[in-house]
A and B are shown apart, each in its own frame.
Chain A
Amino acid sequence: MSPRTLIPPDSTVVKAVDLVKDYGAFRAVDGLNFELKAGGVMGFLGPNGAGKSTTLRMLVDLIRPSRGELFLFGLNYRSHRQQILARIGCLIEKPDFYKYLSALQNLELLARASGVKEPRLRSLELMDFVGLNGRENDKVSSFSHGMRQRLGLAQCLLHDPDLVVLDEPGTGLDPQGLIDMREMILNLNREQGKTILLSSHHLSEVEAVATDLVVVDRGRCVVQGSAKALLSQSERQIRITVGRATEALTLLNAGPWAGGGRLNDRGELTMALGREEVPAAVQFLTQNGFEVYAIESRQKLEDYYMNLLNHHQTER
């Protein structure tokens, strides 16, 4: 690996300026702007089709932007492609490997392509880091999805990158696998000082590790900022466990809290309410024959994210 300069803390690692990507008449990314500072873990969120994967592919030069500028470590791909890629490791979408080669052969091959001086040693070291020691000589075709995800993380660390781009690293992992992946991401960030850009639909996983958030929708940045600041600015969510939740939501939408409630993926009613509004809401529900079983006040990324997107999509 070639020697490189260390990144000063708080310096900008990624800067996207008016990034546009068109596929024929379809605009996948539409003037996207965001910044990622060194040393952070950025949660890159958005619904399906929001342009996340296209943006991440542009970040690692798999796709060329139609317009706009992209700076990584202050450089752009037009003039410094190899220097930039020497400092980025990525796992884009799903981990794909040569199925006819063993896990170690796959890593060695990619390590050589990355210019690693001792490819075998480095590959063995990373197989150990991701918990695949003992499976070095097994063909990748015999690996489960979770093992391939771990191997995918190993391949993106081969050349000791400064920036790690992870696109859905938790897909297909069992609960233990998700916990392990979270621990590894935290280790990379806190112990090894790597800057992480993490795109995931597992919002609880993003919440556990992200220091910064970018939410995109329809190719545009909806919001960007520190995770802590964004969540503290958001309205407190009240989760109400109520019988016949769908009917309760219909009633609320027709009444004084129209548009304030929604059903989460577990079928529970959640509402953005001020503390003083809670008794009135509960009374309203009980007076209309609904049984309220539990009330929980919380400030979760999932609620923040869903409310943000609901508002954004309503505005558009």
Chain B
Amino acid sequence: MWWTALRNESVKILAKPRSYLGFLAITLLVGVILLALALDGKSYIEFVTSSLQQSLTVEGSMLNGYLVGFIVLQMLVVHLPLLVALVTGDLVSGEAAMGTLRNLLTRPLSRKGLLLSKYGAAAVYTLVLLLWLGIMAVLVSPWIFGVGDLAVLSNEGLQILPSEEVLPRFLQAFVVAFAALYTVACLSVTLSCFADNSIGPIVGTMATIMVFTLIGTLDVALFDQVRPFLFTTHMAAWRSLFLDPVPWGDILFSMVLLGAHWVLLIGIGLWTFERKDILT
């Protein structure tokens, strides 16, 4: 029955025009970035590497499809939470507002099973959205700009990854990025269990991200203890996959922490939904 419920949820997501906004937004944004870099990418690279130009000489061009893909990811991963929350924040509360939750909850399916199918559908949507970004960043960019070694700026300085190592690292980076984005999806579905309209959970999710990001950014001793445990601190953990050596310990910590958020948020959602009176 869970698979049937998951199928039903997927049918609904596919049929909703709102679901395609994210794909449209990604396509437009990536298109703008690719166009800008194709027209004036050299100046951009010179600007970014201006501090290093006195200490090293670069022969040839650092601008290639892999670097463009990396830039695209870096620029867009911050926008993805909103695109994810737009759809996942509506999964329960949107149905409550429409009145269709009544129809679903009077079927011989457990409330737990129904809600888990919604968390499952949220995972599928997040994954497909991320894959679309991946296709645009890692397949379209090299097709336009060609491939080559990837130069990444880090705290250690400029690191060069040989081109044959880049694709596997992108793949691993997407896994970590998925873990972070799915935490956002879980947060919005959980908030959705408390509401009877879809605006609240979407705004609530974005507000939580903003507050947590602020706490993570402010250099205040009071926040030092909590900062490592906020999921927003680990939203950019995927970037560590492009360091040499890869800080696997940090990445493992990020993954465990994000996984703990999934469990906590899904647990809160199930507890709430099991006891929710359907009044709409």
Complex alpha-carbon distance, A112 and B278, angstroms: 22
Given contacts A96-B100, A98-B100, A112-B4, contact A62 B107 (CB under 8 A): no
Q: Are A81 and B110 in contact (CB under 8 A)?
A: yes
Given contacts A62-B277, A63-B278, A109-B11, contact A114 B107 (CB under 8 A): yes
Q: Which of B102, B104, B108, B275 contacts A86 (CB 8 A)?
A: B108
Report the minimal beta-carbon distance from A173 to chain B, rounded to whole angstroms: 18
Chain A residues with CB under 8 A of B52: none
Residue of B nearest to A119 (CB): B4
Q: Which of B8, B16, B279 contacts A113 (CB 8 A)?
A: B8
- Which stretch from A87-95, A235-243, A305-313 is at the chain B interface? A87-95
Report the minimal beta-carbon distance from A91 to chain B, rounded to whole angstroms: 9
Chain B residues with CB under 8 A of A83: 108
CB contact list, A73-105 vs B, under 8 A: 81-83, 85-86, 88, 90, 92-94, 96-101, 105
Q: Are A63 and B107 in contact (CB under 8 A)?
A: no
Residue of B nearest to A112 (CB): B4
Complex alpha-carbon distance, A62 and B106, angstroms: 7
Given contacts A62-B278, A64-B275, A115-B1, contact A98 B106 (CB under 8 A): no
Q: Which of A64, A100, A105, A115 contacts B16 (CB 8 A)?
A: A100
Report the minimal beta-carbon distance from A253 to chain B, rounded to whole angstroms: 40
Complex alpha-carbon distance, A86 and B107, angstroms: 7
Chain A residues with CB under 8 A of B11: 101, 105, 109
Chain B residues with CB under 8 A of A88: 106
Q: How large is the interface on A (under 10, 10 to 19, 20 to 34, 35 or more residues)?
A: 20 to 34
Asked if B42 lies at the interface with its beta carbon under 8 angstroms from chain A, I say no
Complex alpha-carbon distance, A57 and B278, angstroms: 8
Residue of A nearest to B114 (CB): A113
Q: Which of A64, A100, A109 contacts B17 (CB 8 A)?
A: A100
Main secondary structure of the interface of A (DSSP, over half): loop
Asked if A205 lies at the interface with its beta carbon under 8 angstroms from chain B, I say no
Q: How large is the interface on B (under 10, 10 to 19, 20 to 34, 35 or more residues)?
A: 20 to 34
Asked if B247 lies at the interface with its beta carbon under 8 angstroms from chain A, I say no
Q: Which of B5, B12, B106, B110 contacts A92 (CB 8 A)?
A: B106
> Please, what's the 1-or-0 string for B104-126, where 1 marks a CB less than 8 Å from any CB in chain A?
11111110000000000000000
Asked if B55 lies at the interface with its beta carbon under 8 angstroms from chain A, I say no
Complex alpha-carbon distance, A60 and B12, angstroms: 24
Complex alpha-carbon distance, A85 and B110, angstroms: 10
Q: Are A82 and B16 in contact (CB under 8 A)?
A: no
CB contact list, B247-280 vs A, under 8 A: 275, 277-279
Complex alpha-carbon distance, A115 and B5, angstroms: 10
Given contacts A62-B105, A82-B110, A115-B108, contact A98 B12 (CB under 8 A): yes
Asked if B214 lies at the interface with its beta carbon under 8 angstroms from chain A, I say no
Asked if A15 lies at the interface with its beta carbon under 8 angstroms from chain B, I say no
Report the minimal beta-carbon distance from A79 to chain B, rounded to whole angstroms: 12
Chain A residues with CB under 8 A of B278: 57, 62-63
Asked if A195 lies at the interface with its beta carbon under 8 angstroms from chain B, I say no
Q: Are A113 and B4 in contact (CB under 8 A)?
A: yes
Complex alpha-carbon distance, A51 and B239, angstroms: 58
> Please, what's the 1-or-0 string for A144-170, where 1 marks a CB less than 8 Å from any CB in chain B?
000000000001000100000000000
Asked if B99 lies at the interface with its beta carbon under 8 angstroms from chain A, I say yes
Report the minimal beta-carbon distance from B20 to chain A, rounded to whole angstroms: 12
Residue of A nearest to B104 (CB): A113
Chain B residues with CB under 8 A of A98: 12, 15, 98, 100
Query: A residues touching B (Cβ–Cβ < 8 Å)?
Result: 57, 60-64, 81-83, 85-86, 88, 90, 92-94, 96-101, 105, 109-110, 112-115, 155, 159
* 17 additional A-B residue pairs with CB within 8 Å, beyond A60-B106, A61-B106, A109-B11: A57-B279, A61-B105, A62-B102, A62-B277, A63-B279, A64-B275, A90-B106, A93-B102, A96-B100, A97-B103, A98-B15, A100-B15, A110-B107, A112-B7, A113-B8, A115-B108, A159-B107
Q: Could you list some 8 contacts between A and B, CB below 8 A? A: A57-B279, A62-B106, A62-B277, A63-B277, A64-B277, A100-B15, A113-B8, A113-B107
- Nearest 7 pairs of A and B residues by beta carbon: A96-B99, A86-B108, A62-B278, A113-B107, A85-B108, A82-B108, A63-B277
